[in-house]
């Protein structure tokens, strides 16, 4: 049977006893892992117990298709419902599942949890699971920001946790479309604030990220914005915390690559706002105004010059011929000087 996206949570929570196998597939690997873990845990809290569960890979099934039936028929010493996880599968193992369903394994005896890739509508394996009443096909498509936010809000509501609007926006922005990641991050928050608590933006940033990530972001905007004193202070803090110069250079390079993408879009005819909106992941709303100014200030040629310097500096840091920290500092301060010159010229 086909399980629609809006029914997946209910199905995994209350209806697994109606099927003997489920196929969890799609492009969102994090969501596949989350649904698989939830399904196995709902069947048995001790789903990692070797007397209750077993794991098989797609390669093992290709080599020996009969292994699936053999594993499912093996009796659990505790007489509990057996769980069999089959992962990294493709259409090449379809024969093994056809044999499984021919043997008419009862739902109360076992649940086979299959983790697959992005099976298309013509997939033989997907069709097999969709067309049988004792099996279920569960799609895992990428979440958008709205779905991620709704999921986060629901979990926080269940734990009576009040989250500042800006803090929630930052969490959603950081998680992208990965449902499993946001679940993991929310677990940290719940552990930190407990039930009936609250969390603001500053606490969220310190809890979910780390102080070095915040400082790195500060350096990126300071360099592109031409704020030399802030670059100097942030670099001192990063190096004091043990952050490697190469990591700093790569973070700044990513920022300038994103600037380059937006500036190129602007030069192709888009307005600044539309150009920024082409970026994925999107710019965090609190940083949009700063980023917009940088898109207006920088030119494609100047961005290319800085990116070449950053790449050369990273190579220089790896050769050990030049002290890495002074090299990193000099290059970033030079880039910030250019950023300051451009901002003054525009204004």
CATH number at residue 300: 1.20.272.10
Range of the domain at 242: 211-346
Across the chain, mean pLDDT equals 85
* Whole-number percent of the chain with pLDDT over 90: 33
Q: 203 and 216: one domain?
A: no
Chain Cα centroid distance, residue 174: 9
Partnered with residue 155 across adjacent β-strands are none
Query: What is the arithmetic mean of pLDDT over 28-45?
Result: 87
Query: What is the arithmetic mean of pLDDT over 273-284?
Result: 80
Q: 102 and 176: one domain?
A: no
Q: 215 and 204: one domain?
A: no
Taking the C-alpha atoms of residue 97 and residue 244, their distance in angstroms, rounded to an integer, is 50
Q: Is 13 or 105 the better-scoring residue by pLDDT?
A: 13
Q: Is the pLDDT reported for residue 249 higher than 60?
A: yes
Q: What's the CATH number where 111 sits?
A: 3.40.50.300
Enter the pTM of the model.
0.52
Q: Is the pLDDT reported for residue 143 higher than 80?
A: no
Q: 237 and 331: one domain?
A: yes
Q: Is the pLDDT reported for residue 344 higher than 90?
A: no
Q: 216 and 337: one domain?
A: yes
Q: 179 and 247: one domain?
A: no
Q: 161 and 122: one domain?
A: no
State the DSSP code for 2: B
Taking the C-alpha atoms of residue 312 and residue 322, their distance in angstroms, rounded to an integer, is 12
Q: 67 and 162: one domain?
A: no
Q: 157 and 261: one domain?
A: no
Q: Is the pLDDT reported for residue 272 higher than 60?
A: yes
Please report which confidence band the pLDDT of residue 12 belongs to, taking 50, 70 and 90 as the band edges. very high
Please report which confidence band the pLDDT of residue 209 belongs to, taking 50, 70 and 90 as the band edges. low
- The pLDDT value recorded for residue 138 is 95
Q: 161 and 234: one domain?
A: no
104, two tokens: 């008419």
Q: Domains in the chain: how many in total?
A: 3
Domain boundary residue, one of 120, 139, 158:
139
The string of pLDDT tens digits covering residues 309-337 is: 999 998 888 776 778 899 999 999 999 99
Q: Is the pLDDT reported for residue 244 higher than 90?
A: no
Please report which confidence band the pLDDT of residue 181 belongs to, taking 50, 70 and 90 as the band edges. low
Token match 């700044």: residue? 252
Q: 60 and 120: one domain?
A: yes
- The pLDDT value recorded for residue 214 is 72
- The pLDDT value recorded for residue 75 is 56
Query: What is the arithmetic mean of pLDDT over 193-215?
Result: 74
- The pLDDT value recorded for residue 72 is 80
Query: What is the arithmetic mean of pLDDT over 57-61?
Result: 90
Query: What is the arithmetic mean of pLDDT over 157-185?
Result: 77
Q: 23 and 96: one domain?
A: yes
Per-residue burial over 199-208, b = 16 or more CB atoms within 10 Å of its CB, e = otherwise? bebebbbebb
- The pLDDT value recorded for residue 285 is 72
How many alpha carbons lie under 13 Å from residue 78 in its C-beta half-sphere?
Answer: 13
- The pLDDT value recorded for residue 304 is 92
DSSP 204-258: HHHHHS-HHHHHHHHHHHHHHHT-HHHHHHHHHHHHHTT--HHHHHHHHHHHHHH
Domain boundary residue, one of 82, 106, 139:
139
Chain Cα centroid distance, residue 229: 34
Domain boundary residue, one of 93, 113, 139:
139
């Amino acid at each position: 049977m086909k399980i629609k996206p809006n029914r997946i949570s209910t199905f995994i929570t209350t209806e697994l006893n109606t099927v003997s196998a489920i196929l969890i597939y799609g492009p969102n690997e994090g969501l596949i892992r989350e649904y698989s873990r939830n399904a196995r845990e709902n069947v048995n809290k001790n789903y990692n117990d070797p007397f209750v569960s077993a794991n098989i890979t797609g390669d093992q099934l290709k080599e020996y298709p009969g292994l699936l039936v053999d594993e499912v028929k093996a009796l659990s010493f505790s007489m509990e419902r057996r769980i069999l996880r089959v992962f990294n599968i493709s259409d090449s193992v379809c024969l093994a599942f056809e044999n499984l369903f021919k043997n008419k394994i009862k739902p109360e005896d076992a649940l086979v949890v299959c983790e697959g890739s992005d099976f298309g509508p013509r997939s033989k394996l997907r069709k097999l699971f969709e067309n049988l009443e004792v099996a279920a096909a569960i799609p895992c498509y990428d979440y958008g920001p709205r779905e991620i936010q709704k999921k986060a809000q629901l979990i926080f509501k269940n734990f009576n946790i009040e989250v500042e609007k800006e803090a929630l926006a930052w969490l959603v922005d950081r998680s992208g479309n990965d449902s499993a990641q946001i679940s993991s991050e929310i677990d940290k928050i719940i552990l930190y604030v407990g039930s009936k608590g609250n969390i603001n933006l500053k606490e969220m940033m310190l809890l979910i990220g780390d102080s070095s990530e915040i400082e790195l972001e500060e350096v990126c905007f300071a360099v592109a914005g031409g704020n030399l004193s802030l670059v100097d202070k942030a670099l001192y803090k990063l190096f004091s915390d043990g952050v490697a110069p190469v990591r700093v250079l790569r973070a700044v390079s990513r920022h300038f690559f994103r600037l380059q993408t937006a500036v190129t879009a602007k030069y192709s005819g888009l307005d600044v706002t539309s150009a920024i909106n082409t970026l994925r992941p999107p710019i965090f709303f609190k940083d949009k105004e700063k980023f917009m100014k940088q898109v207006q200030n920088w030119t494609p040629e100047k961005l290319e010059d800085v990116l070449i310097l950053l790449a050369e500096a990273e190579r220089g840091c790896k050769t050990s011929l030049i002290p890495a920290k002074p090299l990193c500092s000099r290059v970033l301060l030079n880039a910030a000087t250019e950023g300051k010159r451009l901002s003054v010229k525009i204004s």
